[in-house]
Each structure stands twice: as C-alpha cells, then as structure tokens.
Homo-oligomer: A and B are copies of this chain.
C-alpha cells in the first residue's frame, strides 16, 4: 500500500486513491440517481426533470446534471431559443449504467417492509438519539 500503481488507481475501490470512488459517488448521489432513472424513461428538459423528481431544487438538479454530463453519462443539448431549451438524454454509457441503478432501486424498494421492520426492532432495543 506504500506505493500505488496506475492499475490500483483504477481498479480497487478499497484504495484511497481509487478514482472510481468519486465516479461512484457521482452516480449514486441522491439526486443524480433519480435524474438517471428519469432519463432512463425518456430524454427530458430541465424543467421536466425538476417536476418528475419531487423534492429536488433547481440548484441541486443543475449541479447533479452538470456532474453527470462531465462524467459522460448524460448528454446535454442546448437549443438557442427564448425561452431557453435544454434537453438531457442518456449517453451510450449512461444507458448501460442505468440498468444497474434500476436493479438496485427495485431491490431496495422491494425490501422496504423488511427494512422498516428491522428499524422498528432496532429502535426498540436501542432508541435513536
């Protein structure tokens, strides 16, 4: 661990220097995850995404989309119109990423009864602060 090769930088999430950590954080971010899921349905304009994802602010949405675009998961297309018209769609890479995310989302959603039961049981033994 004293020395790190380039391969280790790429390949090992347990390694502090692994650059995929950051990329993982981006795609699993709270709002990015939901934006990607929405874009899996169809390309959206900014405002459409905003309305699709309840609870997200324009600021957080813009931030997440910017990151997703920079990492190459999302394609942003600006039409020079008034009012502004910006469209977001998944890139090829994004389209391959999304089934992984949706699989995880579906799994967790399906497990919510168990999660809730576990929380209730845990809170009985050890009430939260």
Which residues of A are at the interface with B, using a C-beta cutoff of 8 A? 1, 10-11, 13-17, 19-21, 23-25, 27-28, 30, 33-34, 37-38, 52-55, 69-72, 93, 96-97, 100-101, 103-105, 107-109, 111-119, 122-123, 128
Beyond A53-B14, A54-B16, whether A23 also contacts B70 by CB under 8 A is: no
The 10 closest A-B pairs by CB, nearest first: A72-B118, A28-B28, A16-B54, A16-B55, A100-B104, A70-B122, A20-B109, A71-B115, A23-B115, A10-B112
**Complex CA distance for A123 and B67, rounded to whole angstroms:** 11
Q: Whole-angstrom distance from the CB of A91 to the nearest CB of chain B?
A: 8
A72 touches B34 (CB 8 A): no
**8 extra A-B contacts, CB within 8 A, seeds A14-B53, A14-B54, A16-B55:** A11-B109, A14-B38, A16-B54, A24-B33, A25-B30, A70-B119, A71-B115, A71-B118
